[in-house]
Amino acid sequence: MIFESGPWKEDLLSYRDKIIEYGSSKYFQNDDDDSDNAYSILEKSIFYSAFVIRKLVDCKTKLSDEADCYALKVEIFESKKYFDNMHHWISEDSHNWESSRRQTKQGTDVCNRLIHSVIFELTYNDDKSIEGFCVSSDENCDKCLYHVTMKDWLNYIDFISSDDISEFSAERTEKGIKYKKVRNKNLY
């Protein structure tokens, strides 16, 4: 359980800042140590942000109901081959790249896929800046791959890090405790 969410939300903002800084094209113009270092920093910042978000949501009392249900747009590609911990690289023939579908998925679903990922790769714009990432978890790597834009991921981090509860209630039912958490509307 998290005692105080403020420091965790501050960490989220630091991961966001690293994603913005190291996602720029200047780090990926050449295939060298700078690009390897930037890739590692981005990878860690995305994974750590997913863990922090998931932990805050799982606490049930640190984020609003809106944050718990936040949805991300993802592009889904069907897998065409077998993946496991030894075979986890995306290639031209690994997925059906010509046929994708767009769906809205809960942010926590994307976090779970990152936390339990077998496949993770950054995607790039034409100028070599980071466009987004592809991810698939151990439970679904043989089925599909999610593509999430970095813009959408950063918006999710912003939403979670700025979330503030102005009203809270808890009701004990036969099925357990039902929480109601209202987002502070004065933040915007």
Does residue 89 contact residue 145 with C-beta atoms inside 8 Å? no
48 within some domain: yes
11 within some domain: yes
The domain in which residue 33 lies consists of 6-187
Banded model confidence at residue 81, pLDDT cuts 50, 70, 90: confident
Looking at residue 188, its pLDDT comes to 45
Residues 66-88: what's their mean pLDDT?
82
Q: Give me the DSSP letters along 133-188.
A: EEEEETTTTTTEEEEEEHHHHHHHHHHHHH--EEEEEEEEETTEEEEEEEE-GGG-
1 within some domain: no
Q: Residue 101: phi, psi to the nearest 5?
A: -130, 145
Q: What is the pLDDT of residues 137-167, one digit of tens each?
A: 888 777 889 999 999 999 999 999 999 887 7
Does residue 130 contact residue 147 with C-beta atoms inside 8 Å? no
Looking at residue 178, its pLDDT comes to 76
143 within some domain: yes
Does residue 156 contact residue 72 with C-beta atoms inside 8 Å? yes
- Counted domains in the chain: 1
- Is 70 exceeded by the pLDDT of residue 72? yes
34 within some domain: yes
Q: Which letter does DSSP use for residue 40 in this model? A: H
Q: Give me the DSSP letters along 95-109.
A: EEEEEEEEEEEEHHH
Q: What is the pTM of this model?
A: 0.88
Across 29-33, 91-95, 98-102, the highest mean pLDDT is recorded for: 98-102
Residues 68-74: what's their mean pLDDT?
95
Looking at residue 109, its pLDDT comes to 96
